[in-house]
């Protein structure tokens, strides 16, 4: 067999995952001549080419074939992979004549789902060989993670896929990009207390204990969530060594006498930590949430039960130990709906209906 040397130009397989609403579909729409297989109907506000909403597992295979045969597209986007997996699960349940995947027993249901989903990934691999970029988007969820050789546990972001399918997708991808909001934390210069104050959208391309990510073209660990930063790798089709590219050292400017600036200076950013800037009246996320709860007459325990029911945290974890991001993006940002949910559950408990 022939031995080939050098870089190989080839279309890419990209997986983009992150919390809902961060702009995954919009990001995918920037790829060359995309066509969307919209499994959840999330592209109606985007000016893109799309198939009618996919309603069945077999529809996905037919739509992939139509996209390849059409001749006017260069990128096939499946939006989203987790909704795609739900269609796969329904198909497996139907073929085994059961109502739920757990009914198959002994965990075999998820093995069948893994086998079916691999057929889709194999088909998408054929599309890459025919010259198509492939993009899968996916939602992210936070899960408790424990390492057997270390003490303690921590929260980490993962794709909202089953434990059998998620590893397949990660191994299959050339780029696995995690998009999230980088929270800016402000600090009172006197009390040193801190408070979150908004954030910016960023994406990560290297593995971290708190999320999965990878790339094979030497991308920086962290970038703005902007397609232009990976555009050249997508459109040239070049693959790299998988090692981050070293930046050329910048020439040091001539030293000048520092001028006194009355404006507070931003504290240095520690890798993996949020940016810190001065702040006058700090409040933690928990304190802000507590003020809302007190105003609505809701207890910490009721919030803990509700969050456990939604799968956010365990019921025994104190509310003040919840991650800042969870408190701000789920409990505070959606407090109106969340509080109504809790109050409704309170009434159900009074009527002796078990809390869900």
The confidence score (pLDDT) of residue 253 equals 59
Q: Is the pLDDT of residue 11 over 80?
A: yes
Residue 213: other Cβ atoms inside 10 A: 23
CA distance linking residue 312 with residue 24, whole number of Å: 22
Hey, is 41 helix, strand or coil? coil
Domain ranges of the chain: 13-236, 285-350
Which has the closest alpha carbon to 174: 205, 208, 203, 131? 205
pLDDT band with cut points at 50, 70 and 90 for residue 249: low
Q: What is the DSSP secondary structure assignment for residue 151, as one 8-state letter? A: S
pLDDT digits (tens, 9 = 90+) for 31-84: 999 999 999 888 888 999 999 877 899 999 999 999 999 999 999 999 999 999
Sign of CA dihedral 148, 152, 157, 162: positive
Q: Is the pLDDT of residue 133 over 90?
A: yes
Hey, is 146 helix, strand or coil? strand
Give the DSSP H/E element, type plus range, for residue 182. strand 175-187
Do the beta carbons of residue 73 and residue 32 sit within 8 Å?
Answer: no
CA distance linking residue 252 with residue 246, whole number of Å: 18
CA distance linking residue 194 with residue 277, whole number of Å: 9
pLDDT band with cut points at 50, 70 and 90 for residue 153: low
H and E: helices and strands count for the chain:
10, 10
Q: What is the per-residue DSSP string for 338-354?
A: HHHHHHHHHHHHHTTPP
SS (H, E, C) 288-339: HHHHHHHHHCCCHHHHHHHHHHHCCCCCCCCHHHCCHHHHHHHHHCCHHHHH
Residue 47: other Cβ atoms inside 10 A: 6
Beta bridge partners of 196: 185
| φ and ψ at residue 344, rounded to 5 degrees | -65, -40
CA distance linking residue 176 with residue 180, whole number of Å: 13
CATH architecture of 13-236: 3-Layer(aba) Sandwich (3.40)
The confidence score (pLDDT) of residue 158 equals 92
Q: Is the pLDDT of residue 279 over 70?
A: no
The mean per-residue pLDDT over the stretch 287-304 comes to: 86
Model-wide pTM > 0.75: no
pLDDT band with cut points at 50, 70 and 90 for residue 3: confident
Residue 156: other Cβ atoms inside 10 A: 15
């Amino acid at each position: 067999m022939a031995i080939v040397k050098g870089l190989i130009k080839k279309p890419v397989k990209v997986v983009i995952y992150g919390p809902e609403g961060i702009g995954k579909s919009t990001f995918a729409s920037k790829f060359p001549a995309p066509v969307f297989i919209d499994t959840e109907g999330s592209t109606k506000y985007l000016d893109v080419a799309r198939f009618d909403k996919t309603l069945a597992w077999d529809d996905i295979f037919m739509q992939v074939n139509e996209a390849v045969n059409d001749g006017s597209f260069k990128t096939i986007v499946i939006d989203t992979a987790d909704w795609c997996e739900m269609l796969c699960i329904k198909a497996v349940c139907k073929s085994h004549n059961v109502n739920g995947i757990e009914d198959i027993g002994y965990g075999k249901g998820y093995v069948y789902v893994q086998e079916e989903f691999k057929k889709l990934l194999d088909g998408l691999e054929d599309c890459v060989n025919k010259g198509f970029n492939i993009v899968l988007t996916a939602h992210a969820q936070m899960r408790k993670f424990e390492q057997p050789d270390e003490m303690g546990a921590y929260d980490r972001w993962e794709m909202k896929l089953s434990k059998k399918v998620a590893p397949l997708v990660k191994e299959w991808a050339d780029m696995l990009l995690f998009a999230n909001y980088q929270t800016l934390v402000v600090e009172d210069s006197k009390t040193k207390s801190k408070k979150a104050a908004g954030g910016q959208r960023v994406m990560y391309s290297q593995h971290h204990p708190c999320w999965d990510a990878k790339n094979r073209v030497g991308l920086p660990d962290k970038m703005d969530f902007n397609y232009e930063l990976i555009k050249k790798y997508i459109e040239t089709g070049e693959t790299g060594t998988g090692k981050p590219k070293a930046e050329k050292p910048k020439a040091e400017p001539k030293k000048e006498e520092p001028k006194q600036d009355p404006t507070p200076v931003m504290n240095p950013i520690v890798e993996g930590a949020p940016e810190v800037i001065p702040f006058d009246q700090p409040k933690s996320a928990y304190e802000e949430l507590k003020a809302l709860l007190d105003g609505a007459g809701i207890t910490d325990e009721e919030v803990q039960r509700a969050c456990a029911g939604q799968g956010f945290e365990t019921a025994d974890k104190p509310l003040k130990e919840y991650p800042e991001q969870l408190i701000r993006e789920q409990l505070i940002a959606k407090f109106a709906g969340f509080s109504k949910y809790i109050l409704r559950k309170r009434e159900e408990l009074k009527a002796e209906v078990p809390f869900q």
